Amino acid sequence: MKIGYLGPKASFTYAAAYAAFPEIHHILIPFDTITEVIKNYETGLVDFAIVPVENSIEGSVHQTVDYLYLQADNIRAQAEIVQPIKQQLMGTDSTKRIDKIFSHPQAIAQSLKYLQTHFPKAKIESTDSTAYAAQFVAAHPDKPFAAIAPVASSLEYDLTIIAHDIQEIDENYTRFWILGKTRPQIKLPVSDQKITLALTLTDNQPGALYKALKIFSDFGINLSKIESRPLKTFLGEYFFLVDAVYSGDYIYLINALEKLGVTVKQLGKYKVYKM
């Protein structure tokens, strides 16, 4: 079985992929961007795709949720992996001057307070993944570069950790979705079961959001998240991303929402596993 993930090797997504599919006969295939991961799943190159969807400090990974709602058809999350995140500052030499720091935008945001305090003059540049940042720094040992990445990246690319656990908050977690046609068998502890729906409300209807949310209340369904995202059509037009703790059949919920004129896209019904 082939599993696509946001690479390169030793990224946080790789760790989630390996935790979910540790068997030696599974083939983990890295891709450079989240969009590439999902597109290669759509074309059938991989059987499952693993992508980050939300961080506890920085919120949703918009590249993931926007693609799944606005561009993808009939792609469902079949499982969720929750991973604790620890950010490390690393380079080829711990004594070398650092003029430029590379990492994924989420990792940069999670570590910004540390960077502003200790490296206020360093230029910060975004990369498509933390592991790619580490790989890039390792490929330029003569440059005053550093990367923010997981411990595994320092081992994979032979880098020295300059500062440990530089994220602003200790309770730092990222949710990863496993996209697929079937539910994978995962040998990790299960903490919950959830559904994720994307809702587009009828235009110019007073109380439309309230009426939609009341449906969840009427069904006794507890929401764990609601977020608005732009539809990328006109200013002021949004869809709403809703997570709910729920394990039953939700077809009646969807029918009730659609009777209100709400457009519903199902993004997944899945168990939540903790690393």
Residue 151 host element (H or E): helix 151-156
Rounded distance between C-alpha atoms, residue 236 and residue 228, angstroms: 11
- The pLDDT assigned to 242 comes to 96
- The pLDDT assigned to 237 comes to 83
- Flag residues of the chain having pLDDT under 50: none
Total-model pTM: 0.85
Residue whose tokens read 């019904």:
269
3-class secondary-structure state, position 253: helix
- Give residue-wise pLDDT tens across range 248-274: 888 999 999 999 999 999 999 999 999
- Give residue-wise pLDDT tens across range 139-149: 999 999 999 99
- The pLDDT assigned to 204 comes to 65
Q: In what order do the strands lie in the sheet with 100-103?
A: 123-126, 100-103, 145-149, 88-91, 160-163
Rounded distance between C-alpha atoms, residue 235 and residue 230, angstroms: 8
Rounded distance between C-alpha atoms, residue 125 and residue 242, angstroms: 32
Rounded distance between C-alpha atoms, residue 256 and residue 214, angstroms: 11
